[in-house]
Amino acid sequence: MSDNDILIFPYSKVVGHSDLKRALEIAYIADTRLGGVLVSGHRGTGKSTIVRAFTRMMYDDLPITLPINATEDRVVGGWQIENLMEGSFEKQTGLLQDANGKILYIDEVNLLDDHIVNIILDTAATGILTVQRQGLDISEKTRFTLVGTMNPEEGHLRPQLRDRFGLMAHIMTQSDQRAKILQRVLAFDKAVYTNGEESDFLQDANSKNNETKAKLETAREEFQNITMDVDVAQGCVDLATAFEVIGHRADYYLALAAQAQAARKGADEVSLEHLRDVAPLVLTHRRENQNERWLVEDNQRVADLLDVGANRMANLSTRVVAQA
Amino acid sequence: MGEVVPDSFWQGLAAAALEPGLRQILLFDADSLTLKTAVSSLQQLLTLTTKQKIQVAHLGGLAQEDDLWGSHIPSATDSTTGLSVIWKDGLLTRNWNDDDWLLVVIPDLTRLSLAASRACITLMDAPVAHLERHDHTSIWQPRICWLAACPQDKVGQVSPHLLDRFALRLPTPQLRPIPSTTAILAWLEELKTSADLPTTTIDLPDKWRKKVTVKYSLPRLSPKAIQRVLAYSDGLTHPGVRRELAVARLGRAVARLARDEVVSSHHIDEAAILIGLSLPQSKIKLDETEPQKPEPEPLESETEPQTDMTFDDEESVSDTSVSSESSNVIESDDSETFPISSPLPTDPYPEDKAPIDRELFTLQLPLRRQQAFSIEHGAIIGTQPADSLQDLALIPTFLEAALYQKVRRRSHPDKVNQFILSSTDLRRHRRIPQPEKMLLLLLDYTSLRDCEWQQALIPHLRWAYVNRASITIIQVGSDRHEEDELRAQKVVARSLLTPRIGEALEAQPGRATPLAHGLEMAYQVVQKAQEHGRSHIQETRFIIITDGRGNVPLAASVSGQIKMPVNREGIEDALQTARHFQDMKRLRTFLLDPQPQYHAELPISLAEMLGADHQEIPLIPEVRI
């Protein structure tokens, strides 16, 4: 059985979790520039399912996965042991190299050995994987989108690692969505039961996945062509200042994420509305109290700071349409 | 030897055999006979439903990551190098490359090793597994059925994250062996060739054999059945949907076993009874007004209406009602009737109410830190590269070196017949760090009312946190043990982060003050911690908060009976016991004085007897005035 034969719950059938979907899509459009997405949610909320589903949809494959049982040689690379035993040297790439230009997924990222965390931090900070061990001398560029899922009940993430994730999404299962989730998971069970053969559920899902994939690929191509007005850039600065964020990346990440959101929405120019949409994803884990949840009041505060009143937004929208 | 296995237990196991989503089974308070019976039964059922060979593996308290995931082991001697190593799959990866299924048995979930607990989190209920260890990389679909036992009164020791993975909770039957002369004679005959005890095998009844082997399409859940599933979790605050899914899948299995094509709300009720789940009170009232006989229920549509995959941020998921657009109605098979919810026999989720009896973040690996002393203490949880010869892990060191022998011998032709070891090969054990410092806190709850004792305690708690010290609290005069109020009580924890420490600090004052007994108990704790030759505690900080007014003589605490009047006997006993601490080494003692209004000299005298630093605790402002 190959990796592609393993049936994964389809992305288009995921119920709710719009924040996480938006974060993953924006990170894809920005193409590794945003660092990654941290997903925090309690047990059984479908964090891993969504990440796997998204990667299967976008890359036709499972994500490059760094499991919590990984040893150092598999993370940074090493020698192929069978060849070594025969007396010949042949390098084996590590997961950090394999993930170049793709998603590097860490399930239960807060359970990762701190030694492995240090390696990831070093690589993510410089964009260069440096290995000097067992006679290996490697120094090569590697950039990946780090996606980590965690259950906050099992501990927090070191601030340095947390800061590497450009976006963060808290997810929880809404009680009014449970019926629909049950219905879809049970329908997927049935597709698995028949090994995916003649499944209307999967056919429908694949068709919608293809639509989404095409739109995201177009958005990624257009990402560099999106322009940003100075008042939106000022909005990034205002938000970062007002929320007293830790570190120096929040304003940059706000700008990048807003640009990706504009591409995702098919706009030519970044609007304050796009910035407003991405603000929770960028700011929530950079506030001084990192365990604080993003509340409705925070949304209102963002809107007030950006002065995203009806008039201004209407004017902006009109301008975007006119330019288009 | 046979056992009487109740039908409901068979039904639960058969459901797990039919539904892959239910193959994480937890039995509370199962004795060894029950567990063995369950293993034997489940193995037979799974053989029938998966049509594959079922391997059984036992997971215990000693398993390390290499044991679980695989490692290099020595193999037959290589004629040219003198040695060789090969890869051996681990306990949980042994079937990754074939079609076999693995039945993993966990005899006691509370004793599962850290590595095994982390492996369970990774593999249970996962559609895909990844192995990235020691040059090996594999991606596969786990084919594992999990069967665990757990003492219900200790469920608070287990991570809820891990417990949540166990979808199917089955009430444990009380199995009774059926005496059989034939079995005894057969066993005696077997003993002539084998010293083993008789194995617990049980013959799968034909009834269940037939039920699980009938080829049947997967029944659909009616909208009412889904609403019924949700009714069981109504008002509960658990995150995620695993519990609802478990009930729905169990209901589907119940319907399959009854050969019904549609899962109705009555199947869901039967599933709930199987695991001991009851409806919330509000739903029971509503339920009483509903008909008892199964009604034909409309099916859900095969392809439910989908939301448009535009990039709208808020997917229109507010449609909470289950689609009922299909008008297909299939008459359900009325040949079997299903009971409506019965009174709760057990609670399938006792962890929701159990007191927390574990440290925070139990699944995290301990930090790698350098220890000044006693590095050899602590359970081994793995290996790591070493830069000294201390606590070497010999076999991993040997195996690491073995990989490079051919290469090294080529560089050193003069050593072709020697085993060449390099400093980079050295591996040492990775161990759970043992606390090297201890905070011993004696709290006299009857003396705390007027002072800011929490503030005074903070520097010492900070010391304990920073030094990762173990904590022992001696509770004197708390309301938590009124039935045994003449004695002090002891609360022990590995670290300050253990929730029961917080609970102990929040206790309220009781009536008696067995101060002498508390000091005696503290003395024993320090003595044991400093036990010659076995101790790893290098420093103890002893904090006493008391006004010195003990009113229970030591003899009364020991005998459990008090003779009135007490007079100063309790106070004198405390002072005498305190004297023992003066000569103790590696002990620093602080008496925090709550400044009592009467007999203010007592805490000072006690501090002198203890040889303690005397510090006054500020009074709360109202009292000061």
CATH superfamily of A226-323: Magnesium chelatase subunit I, C-Terminal domain (1.10.8.80)
- Per-residue confidence band for B18, with pLDDT thresholds at 50, 70 and 90: very high
Mean residue pLDDT of chain B comes to 81
Closest chain B residue by Cα to residue A107: B122
Closest chain A residue by Cα to residue B403: A85
A286 assigned to active site = no
DSSP string of B406-445? HHHHHH-GGGTTS----GGG-EEEEEPPPPSEEEEEEEEG
Q: Give me the sign of the Cα torsion angle A178, A179, A185, A189.
A: positive
Nearest to B23 by CA among B38, B8, B6: B38
List CB contacts (< 8 A) between A133 and chain B. 424
8 Å CB contact of B134 and A73: yes
Residue B27 has pLDDT above 60, yes or no: yes
- State the pLDDT at residue B361: 75
Over B118-167, what HEC string results?
HHHHHHCCCCCEEEEECCEEEEECCCEEEEEEECHHHHHHCCHHHHHCCC
Residue to substitute from A82, A154, A176, A206, interface B, most B β-carbons within 10 A: A154
Closest partner residue to A42 among B239, B321, B424, by Cβ? Answer: B239
Residue to substitute from B143, B304, B309, B422, interface A, most A β-carbons within 10 A: B309
Share of chain B above pLDDT 70, in %: 81
- State the pLDDT at residue B286: 54
List CB contacts (< 8 A) between B317 and chain A. 15-16, 174, 177, 180
Contacts of A230 (CB under 8 A, 6+ apart): none
CB atoms within 10 A of CB B435: 21
User: What angle is formed at CA B543 by the lines to CA B538 and CA B545, rounded to 5 degrees?
Assistant: 170
8 Å CB contact of B248 and A3: no
**Average of per-residue pLDDT across B96-114:** 92
Q: Where are the alpha helices (DSSP H) in B467-514?
A: 499-505
State the smallest CA–CA distance between residue B217 and chain A in angstroms.
Answer: 9
- State the pLDDT at residue B196: 61
8 Å CB contact of B132 and A74: yes
CA–CA distance, A214 with A209 (Å, rounded to integer): 9
- Per-residue confidence band for B182, with pLDDT thresholds at 50, 70 and 90: confident
- State the pLDDT at residue B326: 34
Window from A231-240, B74-83, B163-172 with minimum mean pLDDT: B74-83
Give residue-wise pLDDT tens across range A123-163.
Answer: 888 889 988 777 778 888 999 999 999 998 888 888 888 88
- State the pLDDT at residue B355: 77
- State the pLDDT at residue A290: 62
- State the pLDDT at residue B422: 86
Closest chain B residue by Cα to residue A47: B240
Closest partner residue to A6 among B118, B128, B243, by Cβ? Answer: B128
Give residue-wise pLDDT tens across range B241-290.
Answer: 999 999 999 999 999 999 999 999 999 999 999 999 988 776 665 555 55
- State the pLDDT at residue B341: 37
Q: What is the DSSP letter of B314?
A: S
Closest chain B residue by Cα to residue A13: B306
CA–CA distance, A46 with B164 (Å, rounded to integer): 13
A127: helix, coil or strand?
A: coil
Q: Of the ranges A225-229, B210-214, B396-400, B533-537, which is most confident?
A: A225-229
8 Å CB contact of A182 and B126: no
Asked if B248 is an interface residue toward chain A (Cβ–Cβ < 8 A), one would say yes
Residue to substitute from B49, B66, B310, B317, interface A, most A β-carbons within 10 A: B317
Question: What is the four-CA torsion angle of B181, B185, B190, B191, rounded to 10 degrees?
Answer: 100
Give the tokens for residue A100.
């170049």
Asked if B10 is an interface residue toward chain A (Cβ–Cβ < 8 A), one would say no
Give the tokens for residue B481.
């043990």
- State the pLDDT at residue B534: 57
Asked if B72 is an interface residue toward chain A (Cβ–Cβ < 8 A), one would say yes
- Per-residue confidence band for B324, with pLDDT thresholds at 50, 70 and 90: very low
Residue B308 has pLDDT above 50, yes or no: no
**Average of per-residue pLDDT across B607-622:** 89
Closest partner residue to A182 among B68, B248, B317, by Cβ? Answer: B248
- State the pLDDT at residue B338: 36
- Per-residue confidence band for B329, with pLDDT thresholds at 50, 70 and 90: very low
Beta partners for residue B545, in sequence order: B443, B592
- State the pLDDT at residue A167: 95
DSSP H or E stretch at residue B490 = strand B489-493
Q: Could you report the predicted ipTM of this complex, rounded to two decimals?
A: 0.89
Share of chain A above pLDDT 90, in %: 59
Rounded alpha-carbon distances, angstroms, from residue A11 to A53, A278, B43, B494: 5, 21, 35, 44
Beta partners for residue B3, in sequence order: B177
CATH superfamily of A3-171: P-loop containing nucleotide triphosphate hydrolases (3.40.50.300)
- Domain boundaries, given as residue ranges, for chain A: 3-171, 226-323
CA–CA distance, B618 with B328 (Å, rounded to integer): 77
Task: Tell me: cis bond preceding B107? Omega within 30 of 0 counts.
Answer: no
For chain B, domains (ranges, CATH) are 2-64+91-200 (3.40.50.300), 220-301+333-352 (no CATH), 385-431 (no CATH), 437-624 (3.40.50.410)
**Roughly how many angstroms between the first and final C-alpha of chain A, as a whole number?**
48
Q: How many CB pairs under 8 A join A and B?
A: 216
Residue to substitute from A11, A45, A186, interface B, most B β-carbons within 10 A: A186
Share of chain B above pLDDT 90, in %: 40
8 Å CB contact of A84 and B72: no
State the smallest CA–CA distance between residue B370 and chain A in angstroms.
Answer: 14
List CB contacts (< 8 A) between B68 and chain A. 69
- State the pLDDT at residue B405: 84
Closest partner residue to B121 among A108, A172, A177, by Cβ? Answer: A108
Q: Of the ranges B203-212, B464-473, B513-522, which is most confident?
A: B513-522
CA–CA distance, B409 with B411 (Å, rounded to integer): 5
Q: At what angle do helices A47-59 and A18-30 cross, to 10 degrees?
A: 40
Among the options A22, A162, A220, A249, which is catalytic? A249
List CB contacts (< 8 A) between A154 and chain B. 159, 161, 361-364
Give residue-wise pLDDT tens across range A168-223.
Answer: 999 888 778 899 999 999 999 999 988 877 789 999 999 999 999 999 999 999 99
Asked if B173 is an interface residue toward chain A (Cβ–Cβ < 8 A), one would say no
Contacts of B54 (CB under 8 A, 6+ apart): B43, B46, B47, B100, B101, B102, B103, B145
Rounded alpha-carbon distances, angstroms, from residue B600 to B169, B447, B615: 58, 12, 13
Contacts of B365 (CB under 8 A, 6+ apart): A111, A113, A114, B114, B118, B381
